[in-house]
Amino acid sequence: MRTHGTLWFYPPVSVKARQTGVRYEVNNVQAAAENLLEWPKRGPHWNKAVQACLAALAGELSPDDVRTAFEAAARKEGLLLD
């Protein structure tokens, strides 16, 4: 089952951007997927987060599960901000 509309999660995940001093507040599945595509490193945690995004967009996983996977990947890659 494919979902339509924005799949929100809360609280947002704050991550570093490529530009120094810039941060992104990621608060939905679509933004998480777009942000992941910008990452220079793509390891196992990145892959798990991408798969979570795809599953949520297909209606198979909750946005909160995506948030958890995205936050873990950002932490692993040193991109997570407090």
Indicate the domain borders of the chain.
13-76
For the whole model, what pTM was predicted?
Answer: 0.92
For 54, 56, 59, 63, the CA distances from 1, given in Å and listed in that order, are 12, 10, 5, 15
Q: Quick check: 47 and 67 in contact, CB under 8 A?
A: no
Terminal Cα distance for the chain, rounded: 35
Stretch among 16-20, 32-36, 37-41 having the lowest mean pLDDT: 16-20
pLDDT band for position 5 (50/70/90)? confident
* Residue-averaged pLDDT of the chain: 94
63 vs 20: which has the higher pLDDT: 63
Q: What are residue 62's phi and psi, to 5 degrees?
A: -80, 155
